[in-house]
Chain A
Amino acid sequence: EAQVTQNPRYLITVTGKKLTVTCSQNMNHEYMSWYRQDPGLGLRQIYYSMNVEVTDKGDVPEGYKVSRKEKRNFPLILESPSPNQTSLYFCATEDRAYEQFFGPGTRLTVL
């Protein structure tokens, strides 16, 4: 089954404690993205990757890092989380027809 998986699905952490949200896909898509969803703001792109070792900033990259060492994985790293990064996070892949496939989401709370 074609899918995008994210882990963890729920996370409560404290300010400053480094965390990583993993994203993995089995569709062999080159393009992957991270978004955050906040009420009234819709989805905002954090980072995207066109292929292995190729990443670029989206609209809200501050406070986040990504890496793309292999095609199937695109982890999102918060080196020093702050409460304003409390949000619902989605990983997505995109096929050659420009259609995006989203993971189930990770709900992050930073206290």
Chain B
Amino acid sequence: AQSVAQPEDQVNVAEGNPLTVKCTYSVSGNPYLFWYVQYPNRGLQFLLKYITGDNLVKGSYGFEAEFNKSQTSFHLKKPSALVSDSALYFCAVRQNTGGFKTIFGAGTRLFVKA
């Protein structure tokens, strides 16, 4: 069965410091992996995805994520955090064969302090 784990409920970083939000997954076959962000009062937005190709993918707002097949991880990163990055971040996975369900993680709340 598919599953996604976001081991941290909350991540705190200082503005200007690098940030990492962790995600590990379990899926049969090759995964499609995604990050979404939920800003207060602005709904959910797509950030980036890994479908195939380069393990390092770049997305919106300066975010990137690295697909690591051996560790079944897809951690979200940003070299320099902004206060405006404070939001709730969700990792999601879909099998690329045999079904079209999407499984989301429980979410990680990111606080960036000025």
Q: Measuring CB to CB, which residues of chain A are less than 8 angstroms from any residue of chain B?
A: 31, 33, 35, 40-45, 48, 50, 56, 58-59, 90, 92, 97-105
Contacts and interface: CB of A to CB of B under 8 A. Distances in A.
A102 B101 contact: no
Nearest to B99: A56
Contacts, number: 57
Contacts of A33: 102
Chain B, interface size category, equals 20 to 34
A45 B101 contact: yes
B104 A105 contact: no
A103 B107 CA distance: 18
B102 A42 contact: no
**Residue in A35, A42, A58, A104 with the greatest tally of chain B CB atoms within 10 Å:** A42
Contacts of B9: 40
